[in-house]
């Protein structure tokens, strides 16, 4: 069989309630030259049975013998894939039908030499029933934007050439969260830019918040992985990155009822990089005006 143009990799663990929606959104793509690889990360519920019941010959199921986490499951998917391009989708999200039809030619024909693309997306907040359009803003270059904490859906809108994974390497399986951000920062060491498609092409469903200690551990590992490189290129970027990660941890502490800890963490963020207050003010305005809970 000839290699497909795109390998769509869906990862899931105990996702029986949402996996059909995710897989069927890939099946329904108007661009058809796609192989669909579902990596089941050692589920114990009916996740695999749900995928097996979807009648499409392009679907291939790979079952991990043990749970490897999101990064590990994606690494298995990349190793199993045959496409020229690789796209990811989390098991609780979905693509719009024209996602690949819009994003793929944009990436193929871009003039900046980028090998990777993200798109705008819709966020569904389970706790408020709000649906918010997320259109990430560019603050200077994209590296600065990611370090600042601008919200991207790296897990469900990314489309990249296979060459990216050959040169950047696998996802860091030590990271139980933020593994997509880590991989993208490593990508930006090799390529200075990526293509952003401003049309929203995915629905992202936020169904809950992880425990703050899980976030704090991932934040520490992520920062340490990039600290030396950032300090060598520009120490101010390292301070900005740590401030944004402190703020991210503070949000989860606040939502877990640990308000004093959240306040201390927020003060730490501002002390680390005082100019960060301007970006925080913008996020506060977005929350009050748009009703966005992020």
Residue 291: pLDDT over 70? no
**Domain co-membership, 201 together with 230:** no
pLDDT top residue among 60 and 126: 60
**Domain co-membership, 254 together with 151:** no
Q: What integer pLDDT is reported at residue 293 of this predicted model?
A: 45
**Domain co-membership, 18 together with 103:** yes
Name the average pLDDT for the chain: 91
* 59 part of a folded domain: yes
**Domain co-membership, 59 together with 25:** yes
Pick the closest to residue 144 from 195, 177, 193, 183 (CA basis). Answer: 193
**Domain co-membership, 233 together with 131:** no
**Domain co-membership, 253 together with 165:** no
**Domain co-membership, 197 together with 273:** no
In the numeric block, which tokens belong to residue 123? 């966020």
Residue 117: pLDDT over 60? yes
Residue 286: pLDDT over 70? no
Instruction: Give the structural domain span for 152.
Output: 6-206
- Model pLDDT for residues 231-250, shown as the tens digit of each residue: 999 999 999 999 999 988 98
pTM over 0.85: yes
* 1 part of a folded domain: no
CATH of the domain at 95: 3.90.550.10
- Model pLDDT for residues 212-224, shown as the tens digit of each residue: 899 999 999 999 9
**Domain co-membership, 70 together with 97:** yes
- Model pLDDT for residues 14-40, shown as the tens digit of each residue: 999 999 999 999 999 999 999 999 999
Pick the closest to residue 31 from 108, 92, 90 (CA basis). Answer: 108
Q: Which of 143, 175, 206 is the last residue of a domain?
A: 206
**Domain co-membership, 202 together with 219:** no
- Model pLDDT for residues 163-209, shown as the tens digit of each residue: 999 999 999 999 989 999 999 999 999 888 889 999 999 999 987 77
């Amino acid at each position: 069989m000839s290699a497909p143009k795109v390998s769509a990799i869906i990862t899931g663990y105990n996702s029986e309630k949402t996996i059909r929606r995710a897989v069927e959104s890939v099946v329904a793509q108007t661009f058809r030259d796609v192989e669909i690889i579902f990596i089941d990360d050692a589920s114990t519920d009916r996740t695999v049975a749900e995928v097996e019941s979807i009648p499409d010959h392009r679907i291939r199921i790979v079952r991990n013998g043990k749970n490897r986490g999101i990064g590990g499951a994606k690494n298995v998917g990349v190793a199993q894939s045959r496409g020229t391009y690789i796209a990811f989708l989390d098991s609780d999200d979905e693509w719009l039908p024209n996602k690949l039809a819009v994003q793929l030619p944009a990436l193929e024909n871009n003039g900046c030499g980028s090998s990777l693309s993200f798109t705008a997306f819709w966020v569904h907040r389970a706790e408020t029933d709000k649906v918010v359009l997320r259109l990430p803003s560019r603050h200077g270059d994209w590296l600065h934007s990611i370090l600042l904490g601008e919200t991207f859906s790296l897990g469900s809108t990314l489309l990249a050439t296979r060459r990216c994974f050959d040169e950047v390497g696998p996802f860091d399986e030590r990271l139980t969260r933020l593994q997509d951000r880590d991989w993208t920062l490593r990508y930006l060491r090799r390529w200075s830019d990526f293509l952003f498609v401003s049309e929203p092409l995915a629905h992202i469903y936020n169904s809950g918040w992880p425990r703050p200690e899980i976030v704090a551990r991932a934040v520490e590992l992520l920062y340490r992985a990039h600290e030396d490189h950032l300090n060598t290129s520009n120490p101010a970027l390292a301070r900005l990155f740590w401030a944004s990660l402190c703020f991210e941890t503070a949000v989860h502490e606040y939502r877990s009822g640990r308000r004093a800890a959240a306040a201390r963490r927020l003060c730490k963020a501002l002390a680390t990089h005082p100019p960060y207050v301007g970006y925080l003010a913008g996020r506060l305005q977005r929350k009050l005006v748009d009703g966005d809970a992020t």
